Amino acid sequence: MLGAVIGDIVGSVYEFQNDRRKNFGPLFHPKAFFTDDSICTLAVADALVNERHAGEALKDWGLRYWEVGGWGGMFSRWLQSPGLEPYNSYGNGAAMRVSPAGLLARSVDEVSVLSKQVTEVTHNHPEGLKGAEATALAIFLARHRVTPQNIKVAITERFGYDLERTPDDIRPTYRFNETCQETVPQALVCVLTATDFEDAIRNAISIGGDSDTVAAIAGGVAEALFGIPDEIADRGWTYLHKDMRETMTLLYRKAGMLL
């Protein structure tokens, strides 16, 4: 989960001003910040750790950090609406916020259950549910020491995503896109061809597009696959407020992981 938040922070300054170089400078730009992607990820963690309705947690965190901005149009209207009905979204927000489900799941079946539980409250379109579950499953498999090649095979067989490309294949023609189907496969390629956590994040930024979300999806999987170097983890932690740190600490404790 911290990996997803770090991906979001690193990508925050490149979302609307892509830099398609892997050596784009220091990992954390001086103007980097957490965005709505991190807020939603923390809301999902809160829902799972404290057994809250995911929609209620998303509204709580979203309105608490409303001034962060960057909310998608449909999601922002949903946040401000009185009800909790989903709106059939297939946006990539489903996948960028789902990492807590991948960390807490104890089986492949539970990946499906938890992913659906925290996704369908807004993103109940089949592509939204698919993108979230694919991301959560990749995290679960990586946590259980499945190799990148075998993760690629499992995700391709289950969800039909094309993961045979490389970041170099994607980079020349990839453009900003906020759908799961045009974000999740690309983010997974960036991780499954990487050599370590930082390399995965740099791959994700370098292909362009919706950089903070692509990097958040990649970062959640990369954390499970490679771990996060202490220096990067410590730096990411400094961006978070007290309530965020407390929620994240509870999630890792429940997952039986050290933070």
User: What residues are designated binding site?
Assistant: 35-37, 210, 212-213
Nearest-angstrom CA–CA distance, 85 and 257 = 34
Q: How far is CA 134 from CA 18, 50, 141, 174, in A?
A: 25, 24, 10, 20
- Provide long-range contacts, Cβ within 8 A and 24+ apart, for 236-244: 236/2, 236/5, 236/6, 236/9, 237/2, 239/5, 239/9, 239/32, 239/33, 239/34, 240/5, 240/34, 240/38, 243/64, 244/38, 244/42
Reported residue count of the chain is 259
Token representation of residue 109 = 């079946």
Nearest-angstrom CA–CA distance, 41 and 248 = 10
Q: How far is CA 234 from CA 26, 128, 238, 253, in A?
A: 15, 32, 7, 18
Residue carrying the six token digits 């045979």: 164
User: What residues are designated binding site for Mg(2+)?
Assistant: 35-37, 210, 212-213
Closest Cα to residue 72, out of 94, 52, 56?
Answer: 94
Find the radius of gyration of the CA atoms of the chain.
16
